[in-house]
Amino acid sequence: MYTKKEIIEKAKAQLALDYNCQISDFEKEGNTIAENRLLEGRRIYESDGCFLKIVCIGGRAIISADEKLKPWLEEKLVGRDASWLFDFFVLRAIDQKLGEFGHEIDRTQNFYLPNPECNEVKPLTEIKWFDQEGILQFEGDERFDEAFLFEADSPDVIGVAALDGEHIMGMAGASRDCEGLYQIGINVLPEYEGRGIGTNLVAIIKQALLSRDIVPFYGTQMSHLISRNTAINAGFFPAWSELCSRKMD
């Protein structure tokens, strides 16, 4: 089982691949601008290769951007406190600058890592596990569009359902987004919300992954308070925030 420090270091090692920076950049004073290069082993999402992406962790920011943005970033963002980098007036300035090049902010997200010192959680209901092959039966099932994404670059590898007799009340899934870091998603059917099922399933799948020496992480939109509370109540702690851009339509 990993310690909390080891979990954070493992996440930083992955973020260094994602943002083409050195692990030491997460420890030094100030923010870092990195060349926008696509490294082997990075997490690959729809935003892969975007014009600008930023990660804020531990009071520091790593900014991976197109060379055209570098002078503006050095002037406006390098010296700014990363803890406040995603304030609205800063985001507005970033978005306006991106617009000059035909791009815009796509989204900002918070990410969470597991606290390995949490007490073991038992299932609240009967549960059923699904392996990678078993998950395929849910492709196209909109009830579980957060638990399973069916993306080639981040395959869904494990799922666990809460059962009410033969009926599925909720489903948590984990995708292999990169080597050793799996992302958890959760869906609870509307008629079963408010019973703690989502939190319970997320905690259970988190425990299963940690027992296999796999570090799970959990991402959510900044305004999605229900999802954020699910992560925290399931034994996760806030670890980093990210911003990515997209090309304007």
Render pLDDT for 15-46 as a digit per residue (tens, 0 to 9). Answer: 999 999 999 999 999 999 999 999 999 999 98
**Looking at the domain assignment, is residue 167 inside a domain?**
yes
Whole-model pTM: value is 0.95
**Looking at the domain assignment, is residue 209 inside a domain?**
yes
**Looking at the domain assignment, is residue 43 inside a domain?**
yes
**Looking at the domain assignment, is residue 103 inside a domain?**
yes
How far is the first Cα of the chain from the last one, in angstroms, to the nearest whole number?
46
Same domain? For 69 and 11 the reply is yes
**Looking at the domain assignment, is residue 119 inside a domain?**
no
Same domain? For 132 and 108 the reply is no
Q: What is the CATH number of the domain that holds 224?
A: 3.40.630.30
Same domain? For 130 and 102 the reply is no
Number of domains in the chain: 2
Same domain? For 96 and 137 the reply is no
Same domain? For 99 and 184 the reply is no
Render pLDDT for 154-203 as a digit per residue (tens, 0 to 9). Answer: 999 999 999 999 999 999 999 999 998 999 999 999 999 999 999 999 99
Hey, which bits of 30-135 come out as E strands?
32-35, 52-57, 60-65, 103-114, 126-131
Kind of pairing between the strands at 215-221 and 103-114: antiparallel
The residue segments making up the domain with residue 142 are 126-233
Q: Residue 57's pLDDT band (boundaries 50, 70, 90)?
A: very high
Same domain? For 202 and 226 the reply is yes
Three-class DSSP category at 115: coil
